[in-house]
Structure 1
Amino acid sequence: MDSSAVVTPPYVAGPFALAPFRAITLAPRRVGDPASARVLARPYRSVPDRIRRWEAGGQLTRDVRPAVYLHEYTAGGITVRGLVGALDVSRRAATAADGAVFPHEGIHPAQADELADRMSQMQLNPAPILLVHHGREETRELLRAVRSEPPLHDFTDRAQQQHRLWAVRAPARVDALTAQLAGTRALIADGHHRYSAYLRLQRRDPGTACDRGLAMLVDQDDTPLFLGAIHRVLTGSRFEDVRAAAETVGIPFSELTHTAAVEALGPDTLVATDREQWAALQIPPRSGRLAVEALHEELVPALARGPHRIGYLHSAEDALAEAGPQVGTAVLVPAPPVDSVLGIVAAGRLLPQKATSFQPKPSLGVLIRSLTDG
């Protein structure tokens, strides 16, 4: 298979389930510190020994009893809460209608294989994938009761993220969460390749700890992740090339001033610029289609020149800095609504690569899962 090929990850079948596990947590002074990444660095087969040395030296702790964890973190003024547990990935769904976990981007199989090999050697899930869903009020009520109790951990890390962790261990609470979450249909917000690595590990070693993978489930109606845009730079494609392609595929192309073009950016409007010329591209309405889909499915294939490379930038300023008449054209992309993304994946479709940016993500090291604990 072509190592650059993008494929659709399988769907995990319901019922959705997050099992308790014994969390490994780095010491607060280590969380958010880039130097801490060395405990999970090459050679990966040495990671279990490093974990044991760090534990003996008080640089990490291992919970004595399994739990599903409620993790609350605050970064940049945004507070996010989610349930962290061992996600059941042992069953595959035949169709999207049977699915419990929905990817919205394709993956590179070679990259997923590499991550699976790495986790196998480390004997760890080093960080949870992020899932979002529309939660139930009864679950929010249960978690309010959990938050009324003293947290297991309460600290600010080296990256200035604030963290609070509660361990949900009482059998009655765990059973209630299991019942309430069983019908969940969750969208992968971050971690498509790690999710695919979980599935590969499960195929290799079924009936073991690899039947599950570490995941954090965020209620988007309670403490939503911010969904931002990822802009494009079409290196090697001139402003005139974009204009001609738009005319070819029937996308209205309107030259505007800088200010008017930026103001026109919206759910159905892209903005193209080489920093000297600016234009708004009005995407014709079609049921359920996002502007970023039209960009990659219609506009880019119709370009007569390039792009030699597509750059993906999280800020408009960074995208504009890489554009120019002799370099390429920046295309500013609107952030897609969460419900639109959910509707697309429920219909069995995928979005183009890097169509979404869910933020903020938690610092590495708050919750790690060992594959040797079951």
Structure 2
Amino acid sequence: MDAAALVTPPYVAGPLRLVPFRGLMLSPARVGNPTTGRAFARPYKDVSARLLRWQARGYVRQDAVPALYLHEYTSAGMTVRGLVGALDVSRRATRAEDRAVLPHEGIHPAQADDLADRMAEMELNPAPILLVHRGTDQLRSVLAEVIRGEPQHTFTDRGEQQHRIWAIRDEATLAAIAAELADSRALIADGHHRYAAYLRLQRRQATSTDEPAATDFGLAMLVDQGTTPLFLGPIHRTLHGTSLDDLRDATQSVGLGYAEHSQSEAVAALSATRLAATDGERWAVIDLDASVREAAVETLHRRIVPALPHGPSSVAYHHSVDDALGAARPDSVAVLMPAPSVDLVLEIAAADRLLPEKATSFQPKPSLGVLIRSLRDEPSGTS
């Protein structure tokens, strides 16, 4: 995809609202099952009917009464807990101070349109987008009380994620949660294009009445980064069609430091203000400007890459160091990246800046099929 086609998705206005919905849940044997993803594939118009058939066979169930859900999942030793509900996307922010949901990456409009078409045909939000925020002490206290109760669902899925789910229906508890979320700002951790698709569906089906529609909401999971944080990992780069000498010349031309080192020294130097780069034979450390509140990935793509005398002809992205190093060649430089802090990403998003594509990797993500939202249901708790 052409990076130049990236655009900023619209901003949802506060108050931040997660409302109850009637959760659809696949049976534990189908959650985390590699075949489950195919159940949500083409033809999309058949997906809703397929889930109804599964429901008749006991493979999927839907709650009779709407709820907010507190979903805890454990994967590879990491436990994440978040509120799952229908996110109100019916209002757009016109002022920076009104923003309730902050994207930090651009989206491709065609991809968002395609996802909106899929959801409309399926009549489903098949998985929640992931949001992170800093919860208030009072919200943490309310949710701690929820956790003291017995979860409605406890299971290990086919992908070996362990799950506990509490359905929250008590009116006083729901009111307390709503009050504590109202002034919050949430950062999109995963699901920028699905978020944009929610907004497209909402605009397409907006009515002139005051009655809320199902498409005024989109499925979301809100994680308190201060209690059970998602891990924010780096995404490394390979700059194809570029040499280490090109990288040196570009770095020095924009006033940044460049020095060649041994592999062990270069890797050890990797930090929030230092990059490590290699062509598979030589290694270098790039010193960034520590006085600038800028993520390393911003400096690379907005200052260094435009100054390269040659290339890059393309950029490849890698979640592991080994994959990045495996792609290093004399004409393809691997750049090892540090992960930005969540607070820095929040600061960048609040300042109306977007990070370059594939700048963050929040992990772990929940398995597909734990909680699904039907667009056939009437909105609940929206008054």
TM-score relative to the length of structure 2: 0.95
Is the Cα–Cα contact under 8 Å of residues 89 and 213 in structure 1 kept in the other structure?
Answer: yes
Whether 1:269 and 2:274 are equivalent positions in the alignment is: yes
Q: Which one is further off, 156-165 or 146-155?
A: 146-155
Secondary structure, aligned partner of 2:252: helix
Residue in 1 that maps onto 2:29: 29
Secondary structure, aligned partner of 1:199: helix
The 1:364–1:24 alpha-carbon spacing in structure 2 relative to 1, beyond 3 Å, is same
Whether 1:223 and 2:228 are equivalent positions in the alignment is: yes
RMSD across aligned positions (CA):
1.1
What is the letter of the counterpart of residue 334 of structure 1?
P
Q: Which runs of 4+ in 1 moved over 4 A?
A: none
CA distance in 1, matches of 2:254, 2:299: 10
Per-residue Cα deviation, 1:330-355 (whole angstroms, up to 9, x for no partner): 00110101111111111111111111
Identity of aligned residues (%): 60
CA distance in 2, matches of 1:72, 1:149: 13
Of 251, 255, 258, the residue aligned with 1:250 is 255
Is the Cα–Cα contact under 8 Å of residues 255 and 280 in structure 1 kept in the other structure?
Answer: yes
CA distance in 1, matches of 2:241, 2:291: 29
CA distance in 2, matches of 1:176, 1:153: 23
CA distance in 2, matches of 1:357, 1:269: 19
Secondary structure, aligned partner of 2:146: helix
Per-residue Cα deviation, 1:299-343 (whole angstroms, up to 9, x for no partner): 1111121111101111111100111114x0000110101111111
What is the letter of the counterpart of residue 35 of structure 1?
T
CA distance in 1, matches of 2:237, 2:98: 34
CA distance in 1, matches of 2:21, 2:3: 34
Whether 1:284 and 2:289 are equivalent positions in the alignment is: yes
CA distance in 1, matches of 2:198, 2:289: 39
Is the Cα–Cα contact under 8 Å of residues 254 and 280 in structure 1 kept in the other structure?
Answer: yes
Residue in 2 that maps onto 1:309: 314
**Post-superposition offset of 1:213:** 0.3
Whether 1:179 and 2:184 are equivalent positions in the alignment is: no
Residue in 2 that maps onto 1:339: 343
Secondary structure, aligned partner of 2:80: strand
Structure-to-structure mapping, 1:125-144, within 5 angstroms: 125-144=125-144
Is the Cα–Cα contact under 8 Å of residues 275 and 323 in structure 1 kept in the other structure?
Answer: yes
Between the two proteins, the alignment pairs up a number of residues equal to: 372
What is the letter of the counterpart of residue 116 of structure 1?
A
Q: Which runs of 5+ in 2 are unaligned?
A: 207-211, 379-383
**Post-superposition offset of 1:284:** 1.5
**Post-superposition offset of 1:38:** 2.2
Per-residue Cα deviation, 1:108-132 (whole angstroms, up to 9, x for no partner): 0000000000000000000000000
Is the Cα–Cα contact under 8 Å of residues 4 and 108 in structure 1 kept in the other structure?
Answer: no
Is the Cα–Cα contact under 8 Å of residues 3 and 110 in structure 1 kept in the other structure?
Answer: no
**Post-superposition offset of 1:96:** 2.6
CA distance in 2, matches of 1:64, 1:368: 14
CA distance in 1, matches of 2:37, 2:300: 37
Secondary structure, aligned partner of 1:184: coil
Secondary structure, aligned partner of 2:188: strand
**Post-superposition offset of 1:4:** 5.8
CA distance in 2, matches of 1:134, 1:11: 19
Secondary structure, aligned partner of 2:253: helix
CA distance in 1, matches of 2:279, 2:53: 53
Secondary structure, aligned partner of 2:107: coil
CA distance in 2, matches of 1:141, 1:261: 45
Structure-to-structure mapping, 1:10-89, within 5 angstroms: 10-89=10-89
Secondary structure, aligned partner of 2:316: strand
CA distance in 1, matches of 2:327, 2:56: 48
Secondary structure, aligned partner of 1:69: strand
**Post-superposition offset of 1:148:** 1.3
Is the Cα–Cα contact under 8 Å of residues 11 and 95 in structure 1 kept in the other structure?
Answer: no
Per-residue Cα deviation, 1:118-162 (whole angstroms, up to 9, x for no partner): 000000000000000000111111111111111111000000000
Residue in 1 that maps onto 2:358: 354
Residue in 2 that maps onto 1:166: 166
CA distance in 1, matches of 2:29, 2:94: 45
